[in-house]
Amino acid sequence: MTQQVQVKQSTIKAPLLEVKELSKHFVVSTNLFGKPKESVKAVNEVNLLLEKGETLGIVGESGCGKSTMGNTILRLIEPTEGSIFFEGQDVLNMTRAQLQEMRKEVQMIFQDPFSSLNPRMRVFDIIAEPLRTHKVANGKELHRRVYELLDLVGLDQSQADRFPHQFSGGQRQRIGIARAIALNPKLIVCDEPVSALDVSIQAQILNLLLELKEKLQLTLIFIGHGIPAVKYISDRIAVMYLGEIVEMADKESLFSKTRHPYTQGLISAVPIPDPSLREVSEDVILEKDLPDQRNLPKGCSFYSRCPFATEKCKGEKPKLKANEEGHLVACHYPLHA
Amino acid sequence: MTDNLLEVENLHTHFFTENGVIPSVNGVTFSIKKGEIIGIVGESGCGKSVTSLSILQLINKPGKIVEGEIRFHDKDLTTLSEKEIRKIRGNKISMIFQEPLTSLNPVFTIGHQISEAIRLHQKVDKKEAKQRSITLLSKVGMANPERQYHAFPHLLSGGMRQRVMIAMALSCNPELLIADEPTTALDVTIQKQILKLMKNLSSELNTSIILITHDLGVIAEMVDRVVVMYGGEIVEENDVYSLFENPKHPYTKGLLNSTPKIHQLKEKLQSIEGNVPTPDQLPSGCNFQNRCPFAMEKCREISPDLVASSDGSSVRCWLHQEKEVVNV
């Protein structure tokens, strides 16, 4: 693992975020003495490097740990092991004051715009809240900033006095975005920001995120299960399976030279909105569901569903390794080798 | 009459609420042949689910079918009594819902629930019903059906629960299956399995399917004919190949352009401006005029009719009503 991190590190100038061997285990049951008996490894020894200004997409099926990872990076969930460095600072060993300071720089956009906005607060106050909490602005300056943010996300200033329920899903997501960019953050973790929206609105929000990214020089982590949307917005994509990154590469490379059988299955499962390709598209159907996460197979976690699995895969866990092009894969027998 | 299995004609379903009448479905007309799979696409609030619930007479107060006919085997379902419709519902026409967890009863085993459906409509004893349920479970691809027969819904994953729903829906060999967003709550890999299963079963048993979804990808892979709905009305209808190749209604075009495509490299997504209207805030004239990039003066005043053309398509748009106007 450390080897590949070094490979990547030499190509990246200044990482904005570095995640090392990050794990989060949830204890499911304890024994008589309160010691953990069974635990689910939601995130398991994940390594990530995020360059300034890039968008990293994270895809995977539900339960693969992508949201847990997003939450852990913001320390909304305390990780079990590993370390996180934001601009070189160790996030996990920060004092409260330091953490507070860091949270200005790292923001989050949530999936459900219906439950992530306080129904009793007016839009103005929702967007103003981070500015007030961090004592960035008050009085006239606060008003100016909130109206500026409303403009940026494409909402009308006259809507500032309304409550969230008076808005549609797409508009609510815009409010959530305005709140997230209020403090001029460097990194935004977007946890499935378009999954709950209608198709015609999804495109609006994706384009808004792209536009804001350019304008405000943001770095994004875009978590999603809708692969086309993640592909549209990301520069680099990490594929997660059962808490681990099984493949990570530039977007073009990931789709044209897919190396992990799981990624291949995932991509081929995406319905293509073009009926003329119905017969042409080859199917790699992933049989079965995700295995029980309490007792994962000892070897490769994908062993039970992989069409190419051998004895080696059953016994030995493949490590995430890069090829010459920096395309990372955790598989003993990668495709396109 | 014709070889149509089901004909919906000029269906109007309205909801009578305290805040006034909400016209959820406004004059929907379509038909489905035996063995055909049709897709109804549209965004939230366009009336696609209300249409399907209307077919099964599952509209409860304050909703009401105020006008229209739904002919199934030339019998108008809207005139049947509750007792008569029960013989058809779940038997000849069955339905699969989006949320498999909320549509299964948590306190009964899945086997019990499938057997119940069989025993309700067919004169078989318990043992026979159990046998049939187990056969159905293996048909929908459940591993170890004898054991799973005794499982409670919460023990199963989302994909498995949806298989149970399909098994239950197929238990009486329905002629028509209505699937309302059957895979929206599932992961893509599981979605693929479920869609393949539905397609195989349809060709094997010659079951007609009405597939309701917002996902154009699912439509492209599954259906023969597409009905596009917007604001409680059908705005376009065509066979699936022509619709994707040559969409006519600006809304259909917008929908296609705003869908990110996995097999294309970055091209800026075009979005449809504005918001998806709820049925109580539709504009005057054409329902789509306030979001339409081609809206004219006329569109703001008079609502266009759904006009069928000689190539088998129909479209509700002023741009297509006067002899092949400009090809926008």
CA distance B110 to chain A (A): 18
Cα angle A69, A257, A45 (rounded to 5 degrees) comes to 25
Among candidate residues A24, A222, A119, A326, the one with its CA nearest the CA of residue B260: A222
State both tokens at A289: 């569901």
Q: Tell me what pLDDT residue B163 has.
A: 87
- What pLDDT score does A280 carry? 64
Interface mutation target, options A171, A213, A289, A305, chain B, most CBs of B under 10 Å: A289
Please give the pLDDT value at position B325. Answer: 43
pLDDT at B324 over 80: no
Nearest to A228 among B195, B260, B272 (CB): B260
* Average pLDDT score over residue span B260-275: 79
For residues A198 and A99, state if they share a domain: yes
| Cβ-defined contact of B188 to A266 (cutoff 8 Å) | yes
- Which residues pair with residue B65 across a beta bridge? B13
Chain A positions in Cβ-Cβ contact with residue B218 (cut-off 8 Å): 271
How many domains in chain A? 2
Tell me the pairing of strands A236-241 and A244-250.
antiparallel
- Is B275 near chain A, with CB under 8 Å? yes
Residues A142 and A246 in one domain: no
Domain limit, last residue, from A234, A263, A291: A234
B224 located within any domain: yes
Q: What is the per-residue pLDDT for A282?
A: 62
Residues A238 and A222: their CA atoms lie apart, in Å, by: 10
* pLDDT of B327 over the 50 cut: no
Closest to A293 measured CA to CA, from A10, A107, A88, A44:
A44
Helix (H, G, I), strand (E, B) or coil at B328: coil
3-state SS, residue B286: coil
**B328, B296 in Cβ contact below 8 A?**
no
Q: Are residues A219 and A164 in the same domain?
A: yes
Give the chain A residue nearest B158 (alpha carbons).
A289
- A5 part of a folded domain: no
Residue A36 in domain: no
Distance between CA atoms of B108 and B106, rounded to whole angstroms?
6
A8 assigned to some structural domain: no
Do A227 and A126 belong together in one domain? yes
Under an 8 A CB cutoff, do A273 and B241 touch? no
Which domain CATH number covers A144?
Answer: 3.40.50.300
Q: How many CB pairs under 8 A join A and B?
A: 137
Task: Characterise A314 by phi-psi region: left (phi > 0), alpha (psi -120 to 50), beta (else).
Answer: alpha
Residue A18, domain member (yes or no): no
Q: Are residues A275 and A328 in the same domain?
A: yes
Q: Are residues A146 and A208 in the same domain?
A: yes
Q: Is residue B147 part of a domain?
A: no
Give me the mean pLDDT over the B237-263 stretch: 91
Answer yes or no: is B47 within a domain: yes
Q: Residue B279 falls within a domain, yes or no?
A: yes
CB contact under 8 A, B192 and A269: yes
Contact A97, A134 (CB under 8 A): no
The CATH number given to whatever domain includes residue B299 is 3.40.50.300
- One domain for residues A255 and A209: no
Quick one: average pLDDT of B167-194?
A: 88
SS in 3 state form for chain A?
CHHHHHHHHHHCCCEEEEEEEEEEEEEEEECCCCCEEEEEEEEEEEEEEEECCCEEEEECCCCCCHHHHHHHHCCCCCCCEEEEEECCEEHHHCCHHHHHHHHHHEEEECCCCCCCCCCCCCHHHHHHHHHHHCCCCCHHHHHHHHHHHHHHCCCCHHHHHCCHHHCCHHHHHHHHHHHHHCCCCCEEEEECCCCCCCHHHHHHHHHHHHHHHHHHCCEEEEECCCHHHHHHHCCEEEEEECCEEEEEEEHHHHHHCCCCHHHHHHHHHCCCCCHHHCCCCCCCCCCCCCCCCCCCCCCCCCHHHCCCCCHHHHHCCCCCEECCCCCEECCCCCCCC
Confidence (pLDDT) at A13: 60
Whether B181 and B98 have beta carbons less than 8 Å apart is answered as yes
Last residue of a domain, one of A234, A259, A285: A234
Of A170, A273, A285, Cβ closest to residue B261: A273
Predicted pLDDT at A337? 67
- C-alpha distance from A324 to closest chain B C-alpha (Å): 23
* Facing residue for B220 by CB, picked from A202, A227, A271: A271
Locate A48 and state its tokens: 């990530």
pLDDT at A10: 46
Q: Is residue B81 within 8 Å of residue B166, measured between CB atoms? A: no
Kindly list the residues of chain A whose beta carbon comes within 8 Å of any beta carbon in chain B.
Answer: 61-62, 168-171, 198-204, 206-207, 225-229, 231-232, 252, 255, 265-278, 283, 285-287, 289-290
State the amino acid at position B310 in one-letter form: S
Which of A205, A234, A263 finishes a domain?
A: A234
Mutation target to probe the A interface, by most A beta carbons within 10 A, among B262, B273, B280 is B262
**Domain contains A325:** yes
Chain B (153-172) residues lying within 8 Å, Cβ to Cβ, of chain A: 157-160
What gap in Å lies between CA B160 and CA B194, rounded to an integer? Answer: 9
For residue A299, what are the domain limits? 238-337
- Asked if residue A329 is part of any domain, the answer here is yes
Asked whether B159 and B193 are in contact (CB, 8 A), the reply is yes
**Please, is B192 exposed, middle or buried when counting C-beta atoms within 10 Å of its C-beta (0-12, 13-18, 19+)?**
buried
* DSSP structural state of residue B285: S
Give me the pLDDT at residue B45, please. 84
d(CA B212, CA B98): 10
A249 and A210 housed in the same domain: no
Residue B21 within a domain = yes
- Give me the residue from A62, A231, A278 closest to B262, CB to CB: A231
Residues of the domain holding B184: 4-92+172-320
Q: What would the two tokens of residue A217 be?
A: 């020089």
pLDDT tens per residue across span B194-217: 898 889 888 888 999 999 999 999
CA-based nearest residue to A78, from A30, A115, A26: A26
Note whether residue A252 is domain-resident: yes
pLDDT on residue A2: 47
Q: Looking at CA atoms only, how far is residue A290 from chain B in angstroms?
A: 9
- On chain A, the residues whose CB falls within 8 A of the CB of B196 are 285
Same domain, A281 and A221: no
Residue appearing with tokens 């969930």:
A77
Q: What is the mean pLDDT of residues B274-297?
A: 88
Amino acid identity for residue B144 in this structure: N
B67 touches chain A (CB under 8 A): no
B39 in a domain, yes or no?
A: yes
CA distances from A153 to A174, A192, B263 (A): 6, 18, 29
The answer on pLDDT for B294 being more than 60 is yes
Contacts of A198 in chain B (CB under 8 A): 43-44, 214, 276
- As a whole number, the mean pLDDT across chain B is 89
Q: Residue A307: what pLDDT?
A: 87
* pLDDT tens-place values along chain A, 337 residues long: 444 444 444 454 678 999 999 999 988 888 888 888 888 889 999 999 999 999 999 999 888 889 899 999 989 999 999 999 999 999 999 999 999 999 999 999 988 888 899 999 999 999 999 999 999 988 999 999 999 999 999 998 988 999 999 888 889 999 999 999 999 999 999 999 998 888 888 999 999 999 999 999 999 999 988 899 999 999 999 999 999 999 999 999 999 999 999 999 999 888 888 888 877 666 667 777 677 777 777 889 898 888 888 999 988 999 999 988 889 999 999 987 6
Residue type, B82: E
A138 with A227, same domain? yes
B162 assigned to some structural domain: no
Of residues B186 and B212, more confidence is placed in: B212
The residues facing B314 across adjacent strands are B237, B308
Q: In the predicted model, what is the mean pLDDT of residues B112-139?
A: 91
User: Does residue A328 fall inside a structural domain?
Assistant: yes
Domain check: are A286 and A309 in the same one?
A: yes
Predicted local distance difference test score (pLDDT) of residue B322: 59
Q: How far is A231 from chain B (nearest CA, A)?
A: 7
* Length in residues, chain A: 337
